[in-house]
Amino acid sequence: MAEWAKLKDEFLPRHFGYLDKILNDSGFLFLGGAKPNAADVTFFAVFGVYDHAGMGADEVLMKFPKLKGCYEATKTLGKLAEFKREGHFFISDPNHSMF
């Protein structure tokens, strides 16, 4: 459990903060500039893994308004908003015997 806390309290704020700064400095909505690109979809996908794991990534994202806006705008692309993260594609419980 300590590793999950470290991820939420140290890793994500540092990395989300870096991405938020990029957006602030660029003045664009997307990491890719004026138009979304693979960087934006990659963030959407990676954030989804953290969110699906239930480790509090959504709470961290709320602290970074530019990045949150980028995430929400990326969700409107194509059918991303319909993407469901149902079921377990991996075991995220650190107490599971797999770990």
Pairwise pLDDT comparison (94 vs 51), residue with the higher score = 51
Quote the pTM value: 0.81
Query: pLDDT exceeding 70 applies to what percent of the chain?
Result: 83
Which residues does 89 contact at the CB level (< 8 Å), separation at least 6?
52
Q: Where are the domains of the chain?
A: 7-81
Mean pLDDT of the chain: 87
Assess whether pLDDT exceeds 80 at residue 85: no
d(CA 16, CA 62): 10
* H/E element, 9: none
Residue 80: pLDDT band with limits 50, 70, 90: confident
What is the number of alpha carbons within 13 Å of residue 24 lying toward its C-beta? 9
pLDDT, tens digit, 9 for 90 and up, residues 26-65: 999 999 899 999 999 999 999 988 888 888 999 999 999 9
Residue labelled with tokens 């309290």: 9
